[in-house]
Amino acid sequence: MAVNVITPGLSTTVQDLGRPGYYHLGIPLSGGMDRFALRAANMLVGNDEGAAVLEAVFMGPELEFTSAATVAITGGDLPPKVNGDERPTWEAFPVKAGDRLSFGYLKSGARAYIAISGGVDVPVKLGSRSTYTLGALGGHEGRALKAGDSLPLGKGAGGKGIIPANLRRQPGNPAELRMLPGLYWHRITAEAGRQFFADTWKVAPEADRIGYRFKGGTALDFVPREQPFGAGSNPSNIVDACYPYGSIQVPGGTEPIVLHRDAVSGGGYMMLGCVISADMDLIGQLQPHSPARFVEVTMDQALAARADRQAALARLRAHLGR
């Protein structure tokens, strides 16, 4: 039981829910950038929610199955085809041995999750099958897929079902990314802080699993200070410190970068705070040039949003009878 890679797409990687516990060594969580969609895809095909799937960005792969399986595509709207015939997204469908799965052009979002019954059975590394490309760790040989790869599949009973639009989650236009100010927020002036939230930013071309860069907003004004010993000379420099997931660093005070699942674990740039956990999935569905705003929230609001997201997952499970 395997799936053969005919064409790999732009950058398709094996991902599950991630690899916690090694950030102190510089090894990030990895795992799906839109974990809501990843869980949904696994539920549809009858897998554990954290089974390994394929994450395809902007462009889908072409795959050939060596045995019958159930497949579901969620996340960004990347229309699947079986032997050239279109299939719906957010819905389980069967494939037979010898069938080819390919994709049309991406209609919305950025990342599609391809779940196959039984899950992608690559070796578990440090507790996860997720690919950390920068460190050549996990997934299939520690890298994005290439033509000619063959991925083993686990055994799965399969599943069925449809997830209707009202149970899905997609970013708005502009995307609103809620953030809790903190960390080195005190390094910028009050006016710079107001402007940061007032501006509409655009996703820059440098947007990947490590982080998303945003451009088009106003450069930050820093509160003057003598730079601390060891920090470096730019006012945006700090003595190299840990970077939280979702933290918003602003090198040189110009273009914010939100770190994501393959985050660099630390460095020497000040951070304004973090995008809250409930909104991290949305970032994974943003295309370059799409507009986004940062929205200030309190810790209580962040925790309420987290509870909302969990309730949305619970509705999904109830809908699919899990």
Partner 1 sequence: MSIRFSFGGDEHIFAEVSEDMSLEAFFTSLSMTNAVRAAGIKGVTEICPANASFQIKFDPDRIKPGDLLKELQSMEGAASKSDATLKTRIMEIPVLYQDPWTHETLMRFRERHQNPNATDLEYAAEVNGLGGVDDFIKAHSSQPWFVSMVGFVAGLPFLYQMVERKRQLQVPKYLRPRTDTPKLTIGHGGCFSCIYSVRGAGGYQMFGVTPMPIYDPSQKVNYLQDEMCLFKPGDIVKWKPVTRDEYDAAIEAVEENRFEPVIRAASFSLTEFNKDMAGTNAKLMEALHGR
- The residues that touch partner 1, with contacts defined as CB under 8 A, are 20-21, 23-27, 125-126, 132, 134-138, 142, 179-180, 182-183, 228-233, 237-242, 244-247, 251, 264-268, 271, 273-278, 299, 302-303, 306, 310
Three-state secondary structure of the chain? CEEEEEECCCCEEEECCCCCCCHHHCCCCCCCCCHHHHHHHHHHCCCCCCCCEEEEECCCCEEEECCCEEEEEEEEECCEEECCEECCCCECEEECCCCEEEECCCCEEEEEEEEECCCECCCCECCECCCEHHHCECCECCECCCCCCEEEECCCCCCCCECCHHHCCCCCCCEEEEEEECCCHHHECHHHHHHHHHCCEEEEEEECCCEEEEECCCCCCECCCCCCCCCCCCCCEEEEEECCCCEEECHHHCCCEEECCCCCCEEEECEEEEECHHHHHHHCCCCCCCEEEEEECCHHHHHHHHHHHHHHHHHHHHHCCC
Minimum Å gap between C-beta 261 and partner 1 is 13
**Strands 247-249 and 257-259, how do they pair?**
antiparallel
Closer CB to partner 1, 97 or 223, in the complex: 223
What minimum distance in Å lies between the beta carbon of 156 and partner 1? Answer: 28
* Rounded least distance, CB 244 to partner 1, Å: 3
Min separation Cβ 142 and partner 1, Å:
6
Q: Nearer Cβ to partner 1, position 163 or 258?
A: 258
For partner 1, give the closer residue by CB, 79 or 268.
Answer: 268
> Nearer to partner 1 by C-beta: 26 or 104?
26
| Smaller CB separation from partner 1, 100 or 306 | 306
* Nearest to partner 1 of 108, 227 (CB atom): 227
Nearer to partner 1, 14 or 45 (CB): 14
As a whole number of angstroms, the distance between CA 47 and CA 32 comes to: 16
Closest approach, Cβ 51 to partner 1, in A, equals 21
| Residue 34 beta carbon to partner 1: minimum distance, rounded to whole angstroms | 17
Distance of closest approach, residue 266 Cβ to partner 1, in angstroms? 4
Closer CB to partner 1, 3 or 238, in the complex: 238
CB of 316 to partner 1, least distance (A): 18
The partner residues of 169 in beta bridges, in order of sequence, read: none
d(CA 212, CA 250): 12
